[in-house]
Structure formats: C-alpha cells, structure tokens
Homo-oligomer: A and B are copies of this chain.
Amino acid sequence: MDTRQMRYFVALAETLHFGHAAARMNMTQPPFSRQIAALERDLGVQLVERSSRQVVLTPAGERFLKDSRAVLAGFDSACREARLVAEGLHGELRFGFMMHAAHSIVPRLVSRYVALRPEVRLTLVETTPAEIAQRLLAGELDAGLSFGARALPQLDSLPVFTDRLCLVVPKGHALAGCRVVQAQDLTGLAVIAAPARVSPTLRGAVEGWFAAQGLLPDIRFEPQLQTTILRLVAAGLGVALVPASIVGEEASVRAVPLEAAPELPIVLSSPAGSHNRALEPLREMIRDGSWRDVPA
C-alpha cells in the first residue's frame, strides 16, 4: 500500500477502464488489475464496482480518489521542494548580525539577496557579536555578520569591510572640534563601552587603544548596544569609542577621529561545510563586492 498503488487507482478512477489506465501507467492490464485488487485488499475497502461492461467508483472510492490526489500532489511537492532547497533556490537562511550593522550594511545585503533568491525565507536575527559566534557554532544560524575575531576553524569567514574606532562626544563638547584625539585627551572623562561578554573584539579594541598609550579608560557605563551608547553620550553621561560606521545616526553627538584608530574588520561568517546552498549568493555578493552597488 504505497503511492504507486495510489497512482494506479487515480488513473483507474480517471479512465474508469482497467486497460486504458494500465496503458497510462505504462504496463499491461493483468498486473494492473492485481495491484488495484491488492490495494482494495490492504485497505479492506471496495473502491470500484466492476462488471465486464463498466467500472464505477464506490462512495469510498470517490473519497479515496479525492484524498489520493491531495496526497500525491503533496508527495510530488515534497520531492520538488527537497530539490529546490538542495539547490539553494528555496529554503531558509538564518542571518544574524550585530544590531548596529542593521543601519548600514544589512539593508543593502538583504535587498540584493531577496532579488536573487526571492523564494528563500530570510530570518533576520539582530543580536550581539558574542551570540552570533555561539549560535553559528550551534547550527542555529546560517550566516553571521560580526567583527572578525580570531578565526575559528569551524567557521568560514569573508571580509566585508573595515570599520574604524572613533570618539563620540556630546554636541558642544570641548573635544567636538578636534582634528584628532589621543588617550590622554580623555583623562577624567567617563567612558561608555559594551562589556566584553557582548563583544570581546570591540571591548578589546577600546581597551587596547588606551593601553597602547599607557592609560586605562574610566568605564562608567556598560550597555549592550552601540545605539544605546550613542544615546547616553548624547545625554552627556560620558564619551565613547564606537565604530565609525554607526555615527551619523544620532544628530546630537559628534564624531572625532582617534590617533592611531584601531581597525575593526567586519566579516561574514558561516559554519564550515554548510550544506545550505541558499547561503551561496550572500557569500558571493560579498566576495565580489557587488553588495556595495546597492544604494544604502
């Protein structure tokens, strides 16, 4: 009792003739008749009323015909879907990224991606750099846009672009007009930075910049999100070292270049050996740089 017998039965129901139905199934009538009889025996249900002159469906046969068509359509569709997912044309791509990337890079990547793969369900996960790596390794994400930390062998990474730390101060702050600042210019100022558990790379870059000049930052607040940091700076609660790419969102702060500003490589990471071919266009548009052509 399988789909083959169901197909036989549908052919019979549509022709109401054993010989013609058998021909449609590319076989001869005797084994076809036996398959129908076997189907009825296995079901314990008479599906067709036969005489040597005509074949008619019983009510159970009518119902089984309707259901069989649906089952066979579902079966074929399942096979087709599997092939499409294997080709990366259908399926799902779970894409995680740092929250502050949502404002600049992500919209361009996404708009280009959906043009290339309109049938792929794109799940966007705004989260923190630390969680991106963890969820990539756990198989909960297919791709992650984050800072390029130490290269893990279980992750394949592609460079996207290089960000750069800069200082942000409230509008009207004494340092707002500087051409470039050094660590000692920040002596006595409260610094706002995300904790290392949220973004080890970013936190490391911030502390590294101070350390390189022999100083320690006076970190007073530790929010998780860069946008929160900008708000706190705007409110006059301190200054911060943030990726340059996110300044400009907040009109009430001013960015100032840093002396020997640390570079922050942004990479797209995905699990090594991923079978999700829906990932390929995303990696490809980053590899060939074509995502930059999309208007921001």
Contact = CB atoms under 8 A, between A and B. Distances in A.
Interface of A: 1-4, 6, 43-47, 49, 58-61, 63-64, 67-68, 70-71, 74-75, 77-79, 81-83, 85-86, 90-92, 275-278
A52 B106 CA distance: 39
B43 A60 contact: no
A275 B49 contact: yes
Contacts of A58: 86, 275-276
A64 B74 CA distance: 11
B70 A1 contact: no
Contacts of A3: 2-3, 75
A3 B75 CA distance: 8
A58 to B, nearest CB: 4
A188 to B, nearest CB: 54
Contact of A60 (B47, B75, B82): B82
Contacts of A91: 59-60, 63
A295 to B, nearest CB: 31
Contact of A82 (B64, B70, B75, B79): B64
Given A64-B81, A75-B71, A59 B275 contact: yes
B59 A278 contact: yes
